[in-house]
Amino acid sequence: MAHILLVDDDEILRDTLLQMLELDGHTVSNAASAEEGLTKFGGGAAIDLVITDILMPGMDGARLIVELRRRRPQMPIVAISGGRRVLSAEFSLQSASLAGATCQLAKPFSRHELQSALRHALPGKAPAL
Q: Write the pLDDT tens digit of every residue in 42-54.
A: 877 799 999 999 9
Burial of 33 (0-12, 13-18, 19+ CB in 10 A): middle
In the predicted structure, residue 20 carries a pLDDT above the cut 60? yes
Q: Which residue from 99, 45, 118, 57 is spatially nearest to 129, judged by alpha carbons?
A: 118
Average pLDDT over residues 32-59: 93
Number of alpha carbons in the 13 Å side-chain half-sphere of residue 104: 21
Handedness of CA 36, 4, 73, 65 (dihedral sign): negative
Phi and psi at residue 109, in whole multiples of 5°? -130, 160
Q: Which residue from 37, 43, 36 is spatially nearest to 5, judged by alpha carbons?
A: 37
Tens of pLDDT, residues 66-100: 999 999 999 999 999 875 544 555 566 777 888 88
Query: What does pLDDT average to over the chain?
Result: 88
In order of their start, the domains of the chain are 3-121 (3.40.50.2300)
Looking at residue 18, its pLDDT comes to: 97
Does this model's pTM top 0.85? My answer is yes
